[in-house]
């Protein structure tokens, strides 16, 4: 009989052992369990620290911002360990510097090192420059789900669709695994104030007074606390302006011992702002196969982009979001 080697003896032991079927079954169960609990994502869970540094320099031209802010800041940012690339975008009065670290660098350490470097060298930045705003970015900021709202009957404008999208986004944000969302398209609501110069002169009021009055009226300040019934209540003074009537009722001055309201010196309108971007839903000739309008057409739309928290299962988050959207149809969604 031929003598078996070590691999042959191991194989023979497993073939004759009664524990082999149990071990195979356990391996299958562990594999199924691993597939079930492993987060599934379109993007791999890799660490690529990327940090945006925004600095404002009011009144400066783009060249002044570049020479007095961007270039000096880039020089000492290159001193940080682990930095791979630095990109800068310069505009009049504004600088955006994007710092990208090597793959695998610790995100928290990178943020702390960058912030410490900025604060240690802030005296090298000229007077008038605002304190840097540091915003870290990661692979989890990539949206895992986008929802586009549009009306095939063309009954709702982009302004109305955005208001619906804002309420829908608030409902989706209640999921603890949703990190953030962004709304693209449509117009935000705003109150436009058109000052009447003749009325301003008649009431001895200036535009600067109106700006200061609006800032003071749209402000909430904690004023203390008081205990009652084994509970502590917070007292706040002031309030926020919520509609056009609140804005129109702001007192902007005193004339002949009488209050001058904003509505006395200005014309106010409540409606959509000037659009900053546009989103359209386009339909081609094959739209009729899906029960949509058969003729080619474009409709104003609004898109919601949803991102998940780090470590959350992208498939689960997207599935739960779609379930919530279905539940809101006929209630929040027309």
* CATH code matching the domain that covers 190-270, chosen among 3.90.1330.10, 3.40.718.10, 3.30.2090.10, 3.40.50.1100: 3.30.2090.10
For residue 22, the model assigns a pLDDT of 85
Q: What is the pLDDT of residue 308?
A: 87
Which CATH entry fits the domain spanning 143-188+275-328: 3.30.70.1320, 3.40.50.720, 2.60.40.420, 3.40.50.300?
3.30.70.1320
pLDDT < 50 stretches in the chain: 1
In the chain, CATH 3.30.2090.10 covers: 190-270
Report pLDDT for 158: 86
Spatial distance between the Cα atoms of 296 and 287, rounded to a whole number of angstroms: 8
Task: Tell whether pTM > 0.75.
Answer: no
Residues 142-190 have pLDDT tens digits of 888 899 998 877 788 888 899 899 999 998 888 888 888 889 988 888 8
pLDDT at 292: 66
According to the model, what pLDDT value does residue 156 have?
86
d(CA 159, CA 111): 38
Top CATH class of 50-140 equals alpha beta
First to last CA, the chain: 82
Q: Two tokens at 95?
A: 């600088």
Hey, how many other C-beta atoms are within 10 angstroms of the C-beta on 231?
7
pLDDT of residue 293: 62
Other C-beta atoms closer than 10 Å to the C-beta of 45 total 10
Q: Which distant-in-sequence residues (6+ apart) come within 8 Å of 181 by Cβ?
A: 169, 172, 173, 304, 305, 306, 307
Question: Under 8 Å CB-to-CB from 73, ≥6 apart: which residues?
Answer: 53, 55, 95, 97, 118, 121, 125
Q: Give start-end residues of each CATH 3.30.70.1430 domain in the chain.
A: 50-140
């Amino acid at each position: 009989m031929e003598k078996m080697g070590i691999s042959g003896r191991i194989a023979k032991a497993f073939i004759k052992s009664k524990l082999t079927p149990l071990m195979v079954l356990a391996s299958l169960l562990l594999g199924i369990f691993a597939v079930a609990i492993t987060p599934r994502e379109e993007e791999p869970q890799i660490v690529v620290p990327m940090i945006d540094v925004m600095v404002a320099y009011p009144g400066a031209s783009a060249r002044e911002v570049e020479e007095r802010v961007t270039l000096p800041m880039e020089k000492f940012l290159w001193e940080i360990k682990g930095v791979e690339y630095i990109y800068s975008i310069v505009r009049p009065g504004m600088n955006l510097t994007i710092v990208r670290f090597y793959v695998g660098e610790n995100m928290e350490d990178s943020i702390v090192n960058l912030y410490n470097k900025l604060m240690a060298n802030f005296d090298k930045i000229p007077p008038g420059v605002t304190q840097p705003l540091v915003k870290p970015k990661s692979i989890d900021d990539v949206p895992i789900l986008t929802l586009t709202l549009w009306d095939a009957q063309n009954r709702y404008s982009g302004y109305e669709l955005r208001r619906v999208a804002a309420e829908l986004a608030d409902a989706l944000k209640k999921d603890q695994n949703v990190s953030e969302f962004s709304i693209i398209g449509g117009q935000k609501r705003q109150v436009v104030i058109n000052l009447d110069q003749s009325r301003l002169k008649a009431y001895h009021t200036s535009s600067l007074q109106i700006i200061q009055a609006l800032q003071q009226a749209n402000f909430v300040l904690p004023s203390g606390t008081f205990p009652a019934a084994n509970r502590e209540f917070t007292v706040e003074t002031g309030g926020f302006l919520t509609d056009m009537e609140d804005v129109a009722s702001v007192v902007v001055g005193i004339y002949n011992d009488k209050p001058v309201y904003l509505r006395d010196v200005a014309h106010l309108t409540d409606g959509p702002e000037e659009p900053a971007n546009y989103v359209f839903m386009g339909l081609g000739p094959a739209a009729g196969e899906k029960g949509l309008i058969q003729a080619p057409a474009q409709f104003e739309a609004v898109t919601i982009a949803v991102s998940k928290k780090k470590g959350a299962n992208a498939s689960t988050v997207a599935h739960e979001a779609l379930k919530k959207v279905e539940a809101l149809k006929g209630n929040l969604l027309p």
